[in-house]
């Protein structure tokens, strides 16, 4: 009894098996090294620092995180098309969004064709064959943010649809699976909580069929908030066939600054225009047009426009980690031009 009391009050731990101890030690060392990488990697990534290949911050594989930027779940790519050019058809399991930085064109998704212009956001549902085409007079540049969730789940599967080769057995299996899921149209009847889960597939199919594949900038109102002047394209209140990421834009007038806040989720921002700096808990990180701003979890941050013209930032974050009562935003200070 005496030893039992000693164990409970003094934090005594039974001996750990050797294999478990070394596994725990390896995990601790890995986490420590990752935190060191977060601390030393730059918070602003300039185009000259972008990773080679399709993804500017490293590819979508989980082990590619913390190689270019202090982010784990977010990466992104850019698409540049000359007038009259088009991309090869592609299909992938994850959904995709594209913010159009400049120019105009079309997104072709199966039998659906939608036009877009600068400031619009293109929506591509999961497992949808698509390609982009620039119009004949002007090309376009697009920003394609992505999350590194699918590789960890074994679902990072993409294919090119133009090589003329027959589908493999695994590709046919995936195609059959998604075809069957998209045939579900009637919500599951019943009043149990499990019935709600069953009804989600039919509801998601409805959203994919009914909701627009392009969110036009003119359709999204500006809001004056404690964080500044914001325009939300995709949020948890938006019915959209691509809900892995939320997306908003922010405008900051010359000489003004955003609010100061922090949140559990990582944030990735593209500087569309202007110049200024970010303040991250006593450190300053300068940015200008074309740069990427990286905000690690739980970092108090603020955007400052010290240029002569208005700055515009496009921001994305993943919905997935915002849980366990940690998903809210804590406002530390209001925007300099905030008026209640």
Say whether both 183 and 266 belong to one domain.
no
User: In whole numbers, what is the pLDDT of the chain averaged over residues?
Assistant: 89
Residue 17 lies in a domain: no
| pTM > 0.95 | no
Residues in the chain: 340
Q: How far apart are CA 237 and CA 245, in angstroms?
A: 12
In a domain, 4, yes or no: no
Token readout for 179 is 């075809």
Please report whether residue 28 resides in a domain.
Answer: no
Burial of 225 (0-12, 13-18, 19+ CB in 10 A): middle
pLDDT exceeds 50 at position 12: no
What burial class does residue 136 get, using C-beta atoms within 10 Å of its C-beta: 0-12 exposed, 13-18 middle, 19+ buried? exposed
**In this structure, is residue 41 part of a structural domain?**
no
User: Rounded to whole angstroms, how far apart are CA atoms 237 and 243?
Assistant: 10
Is the pLDDT assigned to residue 181 strictly greater than 70? yes
Within this chain, do residues 198 and 263 fall inside the same structural domain, yes or no? no
Asked whether residue 91 is domain-assigned, the answer is yes
Q: How far is residue 57's CA from residue 270's CA, in Å, rounded to a whole number?
A: 12
Per-residue confidence (pLDDT) for residue 19, from 0 to 100: 55
Same-domain check for residues 315 and 262: yes
Are residue 280 and residue 203 in the same domain, yes or no?
no
118 and 60 in a single domain? The answer is: yes
Is the same domain home to 104 and 181?
no
Q: Return the structure tokens found at 282.
A: 């006593």
- pLDDT bracket for residue 97 (50, 70, 90): very high
Q: What tokens does 188 get?
A: 């599951």
Tell whether 205 and 149 lie within a shared domain: no
Helices 193-210 and 169-182: crossing angle, nearest 10°? 100
Q: Which of 245, 225, 234, 250 is nearest to 303 (CA)?
A: 250
8 occurs within a structural domain: no
pLDDT > 80? residue 16: no
User: Do 185 and 224 lie in a common domain?
Assistant: no
Tens-digit pLDDT profile for residues 273-316: 999 999 999 999 999 999 999 999 999 999 999 999 999 999 99
The answer to whether residues 244 and 94 touch, using CB atoms and an 8 Å cutoff, is yes
CATH number, position 246: 2.60.120.10
Residues 200 and 242 in one domain: no
203 shares its domain with 274: no
202 assigned to some structural domain: yes
At residue 22, the pLDDT reads 61
**Residue 248 within any structural domain of the chain:** yes
Q: Which of 14-18, 140-144, 277-281 has the lowest mean pLDDT?
A: 14-18
**Region of 282 on the Ramachandran plot (φ > 0 left; ψ -120 to 50 alpha; else beta):** left
Number of domains in the chain: 3
Shared-domain flag, residues 224 and 299: yes
Considering the domain architecture, whether residues 191 and 293 belong to the same structural domain is answered as no
Range of the domain at 245: 219-332
């Amino acid at each position: 009894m005496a030893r039992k009391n000693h164990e409970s009050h003094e934090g005594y731990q039974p001996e750990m098996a050797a294999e478990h101890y070394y596994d725990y030690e390896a995990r601790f060392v890995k986490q420590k090294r990752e935190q060191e990488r977060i601390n030393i990697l730059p918070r602003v990534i300039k185009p000259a620092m972008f990773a080679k290949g399709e993804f500017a911050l490293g590819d979508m594989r989980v082990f590619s995180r913390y190689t270019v930027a202090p982010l784990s779940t977010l990466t992104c790519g850019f698409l540049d098309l000359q007038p009259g050019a088009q991309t090869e058809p592609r299909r992938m399991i994850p959904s995709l969004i594209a913010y159009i930085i400049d120019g105009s064109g079309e997104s072709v998704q199966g039998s659906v064709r939608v036009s877009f212009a600068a400031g619009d956001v293109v929506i591509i549902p999961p497992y949808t064959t698509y390609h982009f085409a620039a119009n004949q007079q002007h090309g376009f540049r697009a920003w394609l943010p992505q999350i590194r969730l699918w590789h960890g789940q074994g679902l990072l599967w993409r294919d090119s649809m133009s090589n003329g080769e027959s589908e493999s057995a695994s590709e046919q299996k995936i195609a059959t699976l998604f075809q069957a899921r998209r045939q579900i149209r009637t919500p599951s009847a019943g009043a149990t909580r499990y019935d709600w889960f069953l009804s989600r597939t039919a509801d998601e199919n409805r959203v994919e069929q009914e909701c627009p594949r392009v969110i036009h900038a003119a359709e999204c109102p500006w809001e004056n908030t404690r964080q500044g002047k914001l325009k939300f394209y995709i949020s948890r209140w938006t019915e959209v066939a691509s809900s892995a990421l939320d997306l908003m834009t922010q405008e900051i007038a010359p000489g003004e600054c955003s609010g100061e806040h922090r949140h559990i989720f990582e944030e990735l921002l593209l500087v569309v225009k202007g110049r200024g700096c970010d303040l991250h808990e006593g450190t300053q990180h300068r940015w200008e047009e074309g740069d990427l701003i990286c905000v690690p979890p739980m970092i108090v941050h603020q955007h400052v426009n010290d240029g002569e013209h208005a700055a515009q930032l496009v921001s994305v974050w993943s919905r997935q980690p915002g849980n366990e009562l940690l998903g809210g935003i804590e406002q530390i200070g209001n925007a300099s031009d905030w008026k209640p």
